[in-house]
Amino acid sequence: MKYYIRTFGCQMNIYDSQKMAGILKNLGYEPAEDWKDADVILVNTCSVREKPDQKVLSALGEFKKVKKDNPNAIIGVCGCLAQRAGYEILQKAPFIDMVFGTTNIHHLPKLLEEAKSGNKAVEIIEEIDQGEVELDKYPTVRENEYTAYVTIIRGCDKACTYCIVPYTRGKERSRRIGEILQEVQFLVEDGVKEIHLIGQNVTAYGKDLGDVKFWELLYAVANVKGVERIRFTTGHPRDLDESIIKAMADIPQVCEALHLPIQAGSDKILSAMDRGYTQKEYLKKIELLKKYIPNIALSTDIIVGFPGETYQDYLQTVKVIKEVEYDQVFAFKYSPRPGTPAADLDITENPEIVSKRLSELINIQKDISLKKNLQYEGKIVEVLVEEDKGNGELVGRTRTNKLVHLIGRNNLLGRLIDVKISQANRFSLVGEIIE
């Protein structure tokens, strides 16, 4: 029996898919190379913008064909779109056998049984399933052997007015520190070198537990023997304080990289988004980060065309991008999400103008990204070798999360090696191993 999982969306969904693969593996399933050979197809969906919504429906249309050759094949839909609109999807695509929400994943074995017996297996509950932590006991099945995600907090307590996530993932729930450390220990024993702590809002870790803070968790993870690198995503600017920044600077394994979404540069728009900081406050945190960690690589998310955004507001975003000099910027056009407060606001700008702003912003960033990467030429950096492409071609990442292509020898997979960068491109670096 074979399974195939198609994942849309963010790190949370990637991790959930890895857990579902773990569950299916426990049940005796093998991964299928091609969805056409699968007995179970799972589509793990995202609903953060309208585009991913549409992509899900077209993927489902494609996967439907699996039933031609294999009428017993099961098609399941889960993730954030399923949580938000599972019944609608079922109506639009009645050939689906299973639909379940973001906190019901641990019930996959039961749901699969139900679907196999010919019934529709549906489990979408509005409140958080208290049993969701059962998922923690399953191992993840990862593509990358040496770096692994570990969920530390689920849900989000912020209420950014444009965002669907609080509705699809619920309130913040931090995982107990002992359980996180146990998972880290297990991963390290399995050969993992880099631990990537994830959540929609990792910097809020521990607030609901009351007795532990995010920076304390960083120290605890670093103390697990064998952890060579630590990353975390996503940090919210509001919760990023000096004690976290100090810990980042102090702990040798914490990588010099941070994704810190600003969303917009204009205070008027930031306030309409309810982000809880001004441009000045955000830039102060960036300044602090650069002071404590001078070679830090920064990245961000931007929304262009939020309701009420004028050209002057947009120019404030451009100003921030030029000032911070991010290594990478992920920019999106605003997309109204049903049920969010911003969905009721009037869109003031014409979509063509917004598209123009978006492409202008991306072009500005292209030059900055290249400039940042060019600074690496001639430098020696530590690379974790993550992939062997054959013919001696290896791919790895720097601590600053830059992709590095290099020519190496065998047996370097999973090793941290020193590499001299010979060439910088916009999205990657090329280097040579230092003996």
* Min separation Cβ 49 and ligand SAH, Å: 5
Q: Does 165 bind ligand SF4 (CB under 6 A)?
A: yes
Which CB atom, from 17 or from 266, has the smaller least distance to ligand F3S? 17
Out of ligand F3S, ligand SF4, ligand SAH, none, what residue 168 binds, judged by CB under 5 to 8 A for its kind, is ligand F3S
Out of ligand F3S, ligand SAH, ligand SF4, none, what residue 9 binds, judged by CB under 5 to 8 A for its kind, is ligand F3S
Out of ligand F3S, ligand SAH, ligand SF4, none, what residue 166 binds, judged by CB under 5 to 8 A for its kind, is ligand SF4
Q: Does 168 bind ligand F3S (CB under 6 A)?
A: yes
Residue 169 near residue 200 (C-beta atoms within 8 A): yes
Residues 6+ apart with CB under 8 A from 409: 392, 433
Backbone angles phi, psi at 123, to 5 degrees: -145, 95
C-alpha 124/C-alpha 93 separation (Å) is 17
Number of residues binding to ligand F3S, judged by CB under 6 A:
13
Matching residue, tokens 């191992």: 139
* Min separation Cβ 333 and ligand F3S, Å: 15
Q: 82: helix, coil or strand? A: helix
Of the candidates 412, 415, 394, the one whose C-alpha atom is nearest the C-alpha of residue 403 is 394
Out of ligand F3S, ligand SF4, ligand SAH, none, what residue 335 binds, judged by CB under 5 to 8 A for its kind, is ligand SAH
* Min separation Cβ 322 and ligand F3S, Å: 27
Out of ligand SF4, ligand F3S, ligand SAH, none, what residue 332 binds, judged by CB under 5 to 8 A for its kind, is ligand SAH
12, containing H or E segment: helix 11-26
* Min separation Cβ 270 and ligand F3S, Å: 20
From 158-166, 181-189, 292-300, 365-373, span contacting ligand SF4 (CB under 6 A): 158-166
- CA trace torsion 138, 141, 144, 148 (10° rounding): -10
Find the DSSP H helices in 64-197: 66-69, 80-92, 108-116, 165-169, 177-189
* Min separation Cβ 88 and ligand F3S, Å: 16
Q: Which of 19, 236, 357, 402 binds ligand SAH (CB under 6 A)?
A: 236
C-alpha 282/C-alpha 300 separation (Å) is 12
Interaction mask 73-102, ligand F3S, x per CB under 6 A: ------xx----------------------
Q: 99: helix, coil or strand? A: strand
Cis-peptide, bond into residue 234, ω within 30° of zero = yes
Residues 6+ apart with CB under 8 A from 161: 272, 273, 274, 340, 341, 342
DSSP conformation letters of 264-308: -S-HHHHHHHT-S--HHHHHHHHHHHHHHSTT-EEEEEEEE--TT
The CA-atom distances, in angstroms, between 194 and each of 188, 226, 259, 349, 382 are: 8, 9, 17, 44, 13
Number of residues binding to ligand SF4, judged by CB under 6 A:
10
* Min separation Cβ 340 and ligand SF4, Å: 9
From 91-99, 151-159, 380-388, 427-435, span contacting ligand SF4 (CB under 6 A): 151-159
* Min separation Cβ 199 and ligand SF4, Å: 9
From 25-33, 163-171, 190-198, 313-321, span contacting ligand SF4 (CB under 6 A): 163-171
DSSP conformation letters of 241-265: -HHHHHHHHH-TTB-SEEE---B-S
Which CB atom, from 93 or from 202, has the smaller least distance to ligand SF4? 202
C-alpha 140/C-alpha 158 separation (Å) is 28
Which CB atom, from 41 or from 48, has the smaller least distance to ligand SAH? 48
Q: Does 164 bind ligand F3S (CB under 6 A)?
A: yes
Interaction mask 96-135, ligand SF4, x per CB under 6 A: ----------------------------------------
Which CB atom, from 49 or from 405, has the smaller least distance to ligand SAH? 49
Burial degree of 276 (CB within 10 A; 0-12, 13-18, 19+): middle
Of the candidates 376, 370, 339, 333, the one whose C-alpha atom is nearest the C-alpha of residue 355 is 333
Q: Kindly state the tokens that stand for 70.
A: 């294999």
Q: Which of 19, 154, 229, 236 binds ligand SF4 (CB under 6 A)?
A: 236
Query: Interface with ligand SAH by CB under 6 A: which residues?
Result: 48-49, 162-163, 165, 200-201, 234, 236, 261, 263, 301, 303, 332, 334-335, 337
Query: Interface with ligand F3S by CB under 6 A: which residues?
Result: 9-10, 12-13, 46-48, 79-80, 164-165, 168-169
